[in-house]
Structure 1
Amino acid sequence: MTARVVVLTGASSGIGRAAALTFAARGDMLVLAARGLADLEKVAAECGGDVLVVPTDVSVRTEVEALAAAALARFGRIDVWADTAAVMAYGRFEDLPPHVFEKVIATDLLGAANVARAALRVFRTQARGTLILTSSLVGHITAPNMAAYSTAKWGLRALTRTLRQETLDAPDIHVCELVPGSVDTPIYTSAANYAGFVGRPPPPVDTAERMGEAVVRLAGHPRRSLSVGATNRFIEFGFSALPPVYDVLVGPLMGRLGLSRRLPAPPDDGNVFSSRPRHGGGPARLGRTAVGAAVGAAAVAAVAVTGGAALAIRRGMRR
């Protein structure tokens, strides 16, 4: 194996932590960044070896630039930069305080732009490098109570596509998009919450380790986009091909599967503005194999509604 220099933003938990451990097992040299120093140091200790830890808020451009400079000062180059940093907010759009909505955009979209800008400047100088930006299934669909996160991830999808177009003149510079479905990470329970109940990933839920492996796979074999989730394609199809059906079903499903009705949550900014201790797991997790009756019910309902609409049109034509 050839050791690479890998910068990971959002490395203190979830997908970023899982990717760090997988890169470390491979023998790569790591630069770990996130807002919380204590959590970063724990991950660095788990990785072992010569790990550089740089506390960084990706929404602050100067901090991201300082991170790139620190990586170059220590290792002399950056081969891979993977950004998994993100925050989330639950609640109807009109219930979200404007400053919370704006901070989610600043972290999840503008923060990714700061990372891309810093990484591409290094990659242009080197004439090579791989940038991995972590999008989301919610960057390809929409769901109630997730307006800020979805808006940011849709914007990130556009940014990623544009960056690929702008680097066509540099065949050894790669811009990749990772599209996770539901993943068991602390982002749901750490989120700002104005929806009244604790958030959770709707089923089927993948492990952070599976997504971390996907990040490492993209680093070794870059591709434009990698979607990882048992029902990602099915949900995207419903969103695009059957929008009236999707819009009718997504609200009740989100309320039932994406929020735990057993755990009320008072209004709170979560970790949107500052790092907080994060805890894995959460209420009523459902694993990857438990796609569940909800998905099956959604499929049956979609077929029934579509069939009913087609029958009504056919009867109308006969008249």
Structure 2
Amino acid sequence: MRVKDAVVVITGASSGIGRATAVAFARKGCAVVLAARGQEALEAAARDCERHRGARTLVVPTDVTDVKAVDDLARRAVERFGRIDVWVNSAAVTVFGPFSDVPLEDFHRVIDVNVMGSVNGARAALRTMRKQGSGTLVDVSSVAGVVSQPYAHAYVMSKHAVRALGASLRQELRLAGAGKIHVCTVLPAVIDTPLFQHAANYTGREVVAMPPVYSAERVARAILGVVRKPRREVVVGPMGRAMVLQSRTAPGLLERAAARQVDRTHLADEPAPATHGNLHVPAPGAGSVDGGWGGRRGTALRRLAVAATAVGVGAAVGAGRRIASR
């Protein structure tokens, strides 16, 4: 579809992938509706968008677990701009911890935001798009929706569920003959966002971005790409594509290697107190696209990953690099 002048609704737009995506669409001359829980961060994100061609914006503070709030988000978007051409489900939270140590209220919250938030968004978006006869729904899943990992059970479950939701919706729309309504799923690898600083954490160790880390802007470009030319699923990042391929060809090897890699490079040696993170209360402040994982700290983490690989931890991941380079 033609992206310029499209009306785009983005949940999770206050930081990370959602915010990068909002700016990317604003640069293309789109009207952008920004939704998340934090008012201050949403307004800062809107200002980022308005710097590009004076993009039209609408800020709607929204908790995606509240179905009435999500319905109101869709209603306000249509009232302001007349339609919804693109809806991006990007809102997500996470919790790290041994399975038995994660409070059930936190486990439930991750599922509610990541899964039911996507369900609520899809219902609101598709209701409008069916009336229009066209539109594109983009769900942001994760490589973790294909390749599982330890200590992040709720997040991994949720991203598998988001991927499954997209597949089921595509089937249903096809059966209904709604050929001008598209459902696309984007599966990023590890992305430089504040997700890891915002995570609930019960591991006793600091959570860091596991290298290699890709930019949020890279995911935003992928989302723009599937809107222009719809595709079922798109994996973002060469390492992510290699791991998805390995999940089909050597799943047992990848499962063992990924577990060790997560333990060695996703959790640092520095101690960290138990925290609910931003699960129940939005992070304060103006928010940001990146989490600072691409600078000096990112370089140090990449060196740690290389060291881990040298002692055999990254055997399958190393094979994935070779596959990705072919």
- The TM-score normalised by the length of structure 1 is 0.89
Q: Which amino acid aligns with 1:33?
A: A
The Cα offsets for residues 226-248 of structure 1, whole Å up to 9 and x where unpaired, read as 11112113223443433433333
The Cα offsets for residues 140-172 of structure 1, whole Å up to 9 and x where unpaired, read as 011000100001111111111000001111110
Say if 2:210 is the partner of 1:197: no
**Matched positions, count:** 303
Q: CA deviation at 1:284?
A: 3.1
Report if aligned partners of 1:197, 1:260 keep a CA contact under 8 Å in 2: yes
Q: Which of 135, 143, 166 is 1:137 aligned to?
A: 143
Report if aligned partners of 2:258, 2:317 keep a CA contact under 8 Å in 1: no
The Cα offsets for residues 114-156 of structure 1, whole Å up to 9 and x where unpaired, read as 0000000001000100000000000001100010000111111
Report if aligned partners of 2:146, 2:160 keep a CA contact under 8 Å in 1: yes
Q: Which of 17, 20, 31 is 1:18 aligned to?
A: 20
Task: Report 1:278-289 matches (<5 A).
Answer: 278=287, 280-282=291-293, 284-286=297-299
- Alpha carbons of structure 1 residues 101 and 61: separation in structure 2 relative to 1, 3 Å: same
Counterpart-to-counterpart distance in 1, 2:197 and 2:302: 22
- Alpha carbons of structure 1 residues 145 and 206: separation in structure 2 relative to 1, 3 Å: same
Which residue is equivalent to 1:90? 96
Which residue is equivalent to 1:265? 272
- Structure 2: gaps (5+ residues): 320-326
Deviates more, 1:49-58 or 1:250-259: 250-259
Q: CA deviation at 1:303?
A: 9.6
Deviates more, 1:202-211 or 1:248-257: 248-257
Report if aligned partners of 2:257, 2:315 keep a CA contact under 8 Å in 1: no
Q: Secondary structure at the match of 2:19?
A: helix
Counterpart-to-counterpart distance in 1, 2:282 and 2:318: 44
Q: Which of 60, 77, 80 is 2:86 aligned to?
A: 80
Which residue is equivalent to 2:127? 121
Q: Which of 56, 59, 63 is 1:53 aligned to?
A: 59
Counterpart-to-counterpart distance in 2, 1:173 and 1:303: 39
Report if aligned partners of 1:167, 1:173 keep a CA contact under 8 Å in 2: yes
Q: CA deviation at 1:254?
A: 0.6
Report if aligned partners of 2:21, 2:220 keep a CA contact under 8 Å in 1: yes
Q: CA deviation at 1:29?
A: 0.6
Q: CA deviation at 1:295?
A: 5.5
Q: Secondary structure at the match of 2:34?
A: strand
Q: Which amino acid aligns with 2:21?
A: A
Which residue is equivalent to 2:5? 3
Which residue is equivalent to 1:313? none
Q: Which amino acid aligns with 1:12?
A: S
**Radius of gyration: which is bigger?**
1
Q: Which amino acid aligns with 2:207?
A: G
Counterpart-to-counterpart distance in 2, 1:270 and 1:182: 19
Counterpart-to-counterpart distance in 2, 1:288 and 1:32: 33
Task: Report 1:1-319 matches (<5 A).
Answer: 2-48=4-50, 49=54, 50-168=56-174, 169-262=177-270, 264-277=271-284, 278=287, 280-282=291-293, 284-286=297-299, 292=306, 294=308, 297-298=312-313, 300=315
Q: CA deviation at 1:288?
A: 11
The Cα offsets for residues 76-133 of structure 1, whole Å up to 9 and x where unpaired, read as 1000011110001001111100010000000001100000000000010001000000
Q: Which amino acid aligns with 2:282?
A: S
Counterpart-to-counterpart distance in 1, 2:160 and 2:200: 19
The Cα offsets for residues 157-191 of structure 1, whole Å up to 9 and x where unpaired, read as 11110000011111100000000001000001100
Q: CA deviation at 1:197?
A: 1.6
Q: Which amino acid aligns with 2:24?
A: T
The Cα offsets for residues 14-51 of structure 1, whole Å up to 9 and x where unpaired, read as 11111111111110011110000100000111111321
- Alpha carbons of structure 1 residues 192 and 26: separation in structure 2 relative to 1, 3 Å: same
Q: Which amino acid aligns with 2:27?
A: A
Counterpart-to-counterpart distance in 2, 1:87 and 1:57: 12
- Alpha carbons of structure 1 residues 128 and 293: separation in structure 2 relative to 1, 3 Å: farther
- The TM-score normalised by the length of structure 2 is 0.87
Q: Which amino acid aligns with 2:150?
A: P
